[in-house]
Amino acid sequence: MPIDNPFTTAVSEMPPRFAGRKTEKDLFSTNLKYLKEGNPRNLAFVGDYGTGKTVLLKEFSNMAKDIFCITFPCHQFENHAQFSNFLLGTIDRRITVSKSKKILEIFKSHVKSLTVTTPVGGGGIEFKEDDPAFDPMNRMINIFESLYKAVDQPTILFFDDFQYYLKTIGQSEILKPAFTVLTQELEYDIMLTVCGDLNTFEGVQELHEPIARFFEPRRIDPLSRDEIDDAINVPLKSLGCRFTDEAIERTAELSQGRAYYVQLCAHYGLNEARNRQITPEDVSAGLRRVLNRLAIEHFDNIYNGVSPDQQTILQVIACSDRPLLHKEIINESESHDVTESSAKMSISRLRESNVLVKARNKYQIREKLFEEYIRGKSLLI
């Protein structure tokens, strides 16, 4: 059916309808109020791949139009100097885009005081970690102090895929002390809001630990069935199209409420439709393209990153029409040349890596779409 498809297939792109996330938005609104009152509080949200973390930060930025916001995108660093250089470059570009020459000049004048070796602008200032004068924490303080003095207003710093930043700067060594200086000693109104994967704060076991108190990390919940309906059918209303209740149920089943997966199922399901009432059969018909997309972006890395025996375990579970007991997995795996000891170890490692989940003593693959992907690859069928 020829129709302009409103649903996105691009990772991190804003959907046509931002549905749900009321809890997260209410919390951000509350903290936004605290920031304007001079009492900044930090936020951290963690979630699975495809839960819409990047889009959530974009929505927060839209909610804070009257505040100076800057987003630091996903990036990985080899050392603290690279991290500092990345901060400077991102800030320089953000201010340049805002077309405020005065702010940029003030920022550069403050940053120039950090070094006399390389001017700001063009390639940007460059720190070197082997410089005996290089101090990662003070560099972070000075960079954000320069930014705050330049914009001269409450500021929100958004960090996406924050787990990569913590690998460089550590969970407590630099971040918390630096922002304690900025917000408490210097009394700057700077608020951190970050998103990361479920392992972002790995090792933080207790809420009273410093980094947990600093952020109070919250997990992003899946979209509910009604929120999925809202995300899909509201954009379609003006086109005279509608996903039937059964099609919404099928989308909810496959996506498990992950916002990006919802967009993929909706996009490819709509492409398969032959009339303006999109059916569960249309959603299922689009599944192959959904899996092809996710294979490239995500699933191939997971599957190819485990051992051959673990792949066999996954195939055994994926090809079953129900969750399996531990012994059932082992027995079936042995018929495919996986020893009992290797099967036990494989199950354990797949659970540790969060690929398998156990409920009521039975095992299943955590992601429904990943299960469909494995079933499509399986040699056991």
Percentage of the residues of the chain whose pLDDT score is greater than 70 = 88
Position 28: which residue type? Answer: F
Higher pLDDT, 174 or 369: 369
The 10s digit of each residue's pLDDT in 31-44 is: 999 999 999 999 99
Mean per-residue pLDDT of the chain: 87
Distance CA 25, CA 42 (A): 14
What are the helix (H) ranges across the chain?
22-36, 53-63, 80-97, 101-112, 136-151, 162-169, 175-180, 210-215, 225-237, 245-255, 259-272, 280-285, 287-294, 300-304, 308-318, 326-334, 340-352, 368-377
Position 15 in a domain: no
Q: Are residues 191 and 322 in the same domain?
A: no
The CATH number for 75's domain is: 3.40.50.300
Q: Are residues 211 and 241 in the same domain?
A: no
Position 301 in a domain: no
Domains in the chain: how many in total? 3
Which of 237, 264, 295 represents a domain boundary (last residue)?
295
Distance CA 300, CA 184 (A): 46
Of 47, 26, 44, 56, which is closest to residue 212 (Cα–Cα)? 44
User: What pLDDT is recorded for position 212?
Assistant: 63
Position 8 in a domain: no
Which of 203, 219, 235 represents a domain boundary (last residue)?
219
- Evaluate whether 114 touches 139 at the Cβ level (below 8 Å): yes
Which of 270, 295, 320 represents a domain boundary (last residue)?
295
The 10s digit of each residue's pLDDT in 167-199 is: 777 655 678 888 889 999 999 999 999 999 988
Q: Are residues 291 and 362 in the same domain?
A: no
Range from 14-23, 84-93, 165-174 carrying the lowest mean pLDDT = 165-174
Q: Are residues 273 and 312 in the same domain?
A: no
User: What pLDDT is recorded for position 79?
Assistant: 77
Position 35 in a domain: yes
360 DSSP 8-state letter: T
The CATH number for 285's domain is: 1.10.8
**Which structural domain range is residue 244 located in?**
225-295
Position 9 in a domain: no
